[in-house]
Amino acid sequence: MNIKEKVFQLIKYCGGYEGHSFMMDERNEDNFNIMLPQEKEIRERISGLKFILLTGEAGDGKTRLLRNLEDVLKKHVFQVCMDFSAINDNEKKDMIEKIQKLEEGKNGEKYIVAANIGIFTKMVLRYCPGLLEKLKAGKDDMLIVNFERRNLAADRELFQDIAASFLAFDRSSDCGETDCPWRGNCVYKKNLIDLMDKGMEGLRVLCDAVYLTGGHITFRELLSLISYMITFGQSCEMRKKEQAQDRFRYYQIFDIADDPRMQKFCSLDPAKARSRNVNGQYASREECIIEKRKNFFEKEIDAEERYTLLYADYLTEFHSALKMINSKPPYFFSTMDTNNKNLLKLKLGLSKITRAGNTNLKMTVADTPSIFDGSIQTEFDISNNIETIWKRYDLDLRNRNNGISAAGQENRFFLCYVYLEGEELQEKSMLIDYPLFRFLLMAADDYYMNRNGISIEEYAVNTFYRKVLHSMPDAYRKAHIRFDEAKRKKFMNFSLELKQQNSILFESSTKVVIEKEAEA
**Same-domain check for residues 156 and 296:** yes
In a domain, 130, yes or no: yes
- Indicate whether 37 belongs to any domain: no
Rounded to the nearest angstrom, the gap between the alpha carbon of residue 266 and the centroid of all alpha carbons in its chain is 17
Please indicate, yes or no, whether residues 449 and 351 belong to a single structural domain of this protein. yes
Torsion of CA 182, 243, 18, 68, to 10 degrees: 30
Number of domains in the chain: 3
Question: What's the rounded Cα separation, in Å, for the pair 278 and 175?
Answer: 37
Query: Facing residues of 500 across strands?
Result: 510
Tell me: do 381 and 235 sit in the same domain: no
Last residue of a domain, one of 308, 343, 375: 308
Q: Could you list the residue range(s) of the whole structural domain that residue 87 is in?
A: 50-140
DSSP bridge pairs for 511: 499
Interatomic CA distance for residues 377 and 371, integer angstroms: 11
Question: What pTM does this model have?
Answer: 0.86
Tell me if 186 is assigned to some domain: yes
The answer on 183 and 123 residing in a single domain is no
**Could you give the CA distance from residue 177 to residue 171 in angstroms, rounded to a whole number?**
16
Residues 80 and 179 in one domain: no
Q: Determine the pLDDT at residue 504.
A: 62
Q: Looking at the domain assignment, is residue 40 inside a domain?
A: no
Whether residue 38 is contained in a domain is answered as: no
- The angle subtended at Cα 221 by Cα 247 and Cα 432, nearest 5°, is 105
Mean pLDDT of successive 10-residue stretches along the chain, which has 520 residues: 89 66 48 84 95 91 92 95 93 94 90 92 91 84 91 94 93 80 88 96 97 94 94 88 84 86 91 72 86 94 91 95 92 90 92 66 77 82 82 88 71 93 90 94 80 62 87 84 82 85 68 76
DSSP string, 231-278: HTT--HHHHTT-S--GGGSGGGGGG--SSHHHHHHHTT-GGGS----S
The reply to whether 314 falls in a domain is: no
DSSP lists the bridge partners of residue 364 as 381
Residue 253's closest CA among 218, 204, 216, 203?
203
Which residues lie below 8 Å from residue 64, measured CB to CB, with a gap of 6+? 24, 27, 219
Query: Domain check: are 282 and 370 in the same one?
Result: no
Per-residue pLDDT, 26: 45
Residues 105 and 155 in one domain: no
At a CB cut-off of 8 Å and minimum separation 6, what does 80 contact?
A: 66, 73, 111, 112
